[in-house]
Amino acid sequence: MKYVAVTLALSAAVAALPAPVQLVKRTPPNIPSTSSANSMLSGLTVAAQGSQDGYSRDLFPHWITQSGTCDTRETVLKRDGTNVVTSSSCAATSGSWFSPYDGATWSAASDVDIDHVVPLSNAWKSGAASWTTSQRQAFANDLSNPQLIAVTDNVNQSKGDKGPEDWKPPLSSYYCTYAKMWIKVKDTYSLTVTSAEKSALTSMMGTC
């Protein structure tokens, strides 16, 4: 009887332990299906890349206030993270972030960058140079399309302003999703692609 009682007590104690935290692999919104992405890709205008002349990140006002004290960066950190706790000023004080580009998980917001999937410089050279400042601001802070994503900071820095013809996520298993996101953004904003860029996107879509 004592053995049964001890066993039952242990079972109850184990059952009372908190469940392990499951890290949710969140994704940006509005990623198209494979068929939709392929259709969008075929419809993109192929053109030589425009000039970098006149470009400045300041022409794309970013990390604007989204709600209360939360700016765009802080909003994406909360969206893409798991169990994110924020201060009264909306700064992320704790949480976990899974970076789909490289498969790393981080517990400090300072290790995470918010990547513009289509870099601001690339957008400038593929159509955004002719936009108004308000249009460029909307692009740089777009929470409705898959244009912003929380990823490992040095991976984002290695990408810089490169297109898929020159840079791809370290994890080849993410090529499909990355290509879909890139294509969706280019389609939404009627941005052009180069022939090398389209070829790279076509190859990446082949992994879907």
**What's residue 25's pLDDT?**
58
Token digits of residue 11: 């079972």
Task: Please report the DSSP string for 6-66 in residue order.
Answer: HHHHHHHHHHHSPPPPPPP----S-PPPHHHHHHHHHHSPB------TT--GGGS--S-EE
Confidence band of 26 (pLDDT split at 50, 70, 90):
confident
- Please choose, from the candidates 84, 44, 94, the residue with its C-alpha nearest in 3D space to the C-alpha of residue 199: 44
Confidence band of 14 (pLDDT split at 50, 70, 90):
very low
Q: What is the mean pLDDT of residues 178-201?
A: 98
pTM of the prediction? 0.88
Confidence band of 24 (pLDDT split at 50, 70, 90):
low
Report the share of the chain in percent with pLDDT over 70: 88
Taking all residues of the chain, what is their mean pLDDT, rounded to a whole number? 90
Residue 29 has pLDDT above 80, yes or no: yes
The H or E element containing residue 158 is: helix 153-159
> Could you report the per-residue pLDDT of 73-116, keeping only the tens digit for each?
999 999 999 999 999 999 999 999 999 999 999 999 999 999 99
| 3-state class (DSSP) for residue 72 | helix
> Could you report the per-residue pLDDT of 107-133, keeping only the tens digit for each?
999 999 999 999 999 999 999 999 999
CA distance 17 to 13: 7
Q: What is the mean pLDDT of residues 180-200?
A: 98
